[in-house]
Every structure is written in structure tokens, then in C-alpha cells.
Amino acid sequence: MILLVSMTKPGDDYSQNGAGAWGNKLKFEEISGHPCLIQHYSEVTPQSCKDIGARAIFISGFGYGWDEIPLKRILGLYDVVKSLEYPVLGACGGHQLLGHIFTKDFRKNPKLADEPMRKLRPGEPDWDPDYHPGWFVEKGMHPVEMVKRDPIFKGFRKRMWMREAHYCEVKKLPPDFELLATNENCKIQAMHHKEAIIYGTQFHPEAYTDAYQDGKKLLTNFFAIAGLTR
């Protein structure tokens, strides 16, 4: 079973999460040949993962501020990830969540805060003024450069094209993680835990298209690493 963790606000429709959690569920099932269950982050606990027989976990992105997440409702997911027992792939906000999980104690921190990439430079156009005006936003298909070979990049050349949609980033590589990919806008585009199958990608591999298939290839590799193959 693949567990797709939806990072929507409590009460929001899962289908409104990014490109749609339901659409991503169908993609994961088609790629892996295994069923995928969607759960809200507040529902995830070590026991719930055992109950459903989770074999891989995908943590989605989201479009609201970190200070809007009540940390007491995410402690179950925090404990699941920190256990290092499950293959995990966090994308965009899920990637940033991994950065927070491995650098902060959620039981001691009252809340998290946004960590934007940078302010717009003088004269730099604001292409999306309704989304964090005044801040640089990386959006659309962008090139990403591999800096370290890893099984998740099996079959890739050094440069790949991935969907981006973020203004925050992981500012510092967490302890026990290694940098896998970067680009000129955001240094930590992909990272990997040195002792566990835990990956973070600032980009959205699930948002691949017919013209840009690198995200699908990365997901295929992740599910293979997790032992979920057809």
C-alpha cells in the first residue's frame, strides 16, 4: 500500500490539493501497480501506517503558510518519518517538511515559519503578484542539475526538467542528509537521508506531462527502491 499524505488544511477537499490528490493517487497506482490510499496528515500515526500495511509514503505540497499548521496535529506523521521505517518521498512542501522534521523538535517548537527563497530584486518582474507578492517564486517547468548519482536518478542525464511551484525552500541541508540536485534558483532541489530511504524534492515529480516525463521516471525509480514494482 502506498500512503499519499495530503497536506491540505483540515476540512479542505483532498481533490483541491495541488494537481489533485485523487489524480496523483491514480498516477501512483498506474506507475507502481499497487493501491494508494489518501490520508490527511492529521490522521497519520505509526499505528495507522501499520494498520494499512504502508510500504511507501508520499508527502504532498500545499499552498498556505507554515504558521497555519498546528504542530500537535502533525506529531503522528513526525513520529512516522523520524522512525526511518518507511520509504518516504516528500515533494515541495513535503520536502520542506522533511527539512523541518530533521532539524527541529516538534514537541518543543510552538509553530513553524515560512523560509522564502528571496525578495524580488529591483526591477525584477513579479510574474505572479497574487502569490506572495514581492517575493521570488519559482514556477513552471525548470531545469534541475544532478550533483550526486543516486538510484532515484537511474536512467537520467545530469540535467532534468521538473515542475516547480514554490517561494519557500529548505535553507540548510539537515544532518544525515546529502544533496542530490540543485539549480540556480534553489540550492536544495533534491536530498536523501544517508541511512534511510527518505527523499525530498523541492520540485513536483508527480506533476509530469506528456512533454516532460522526468517526474514520472523519478517516481518509477522511487517505487522500485521501495520494493513496489509490477
Q: Provide the annotated active-site residues.
A: 92, 204, 206
Contacts 24+ apart (CB under 8 A), 148-154: 148/178, 148/179, 148/180, 148/181, 150/180, 150/192, 151/221, 151/224, 151/225, 152/180, 152/190, 152/192, 152/199, 152/218, 152/221, 152/222, 152/225, 153/180, 153/181, 153/218, 153/221, 154/221, 154/224
CA dist 198 and 89 (Å) reads: 6
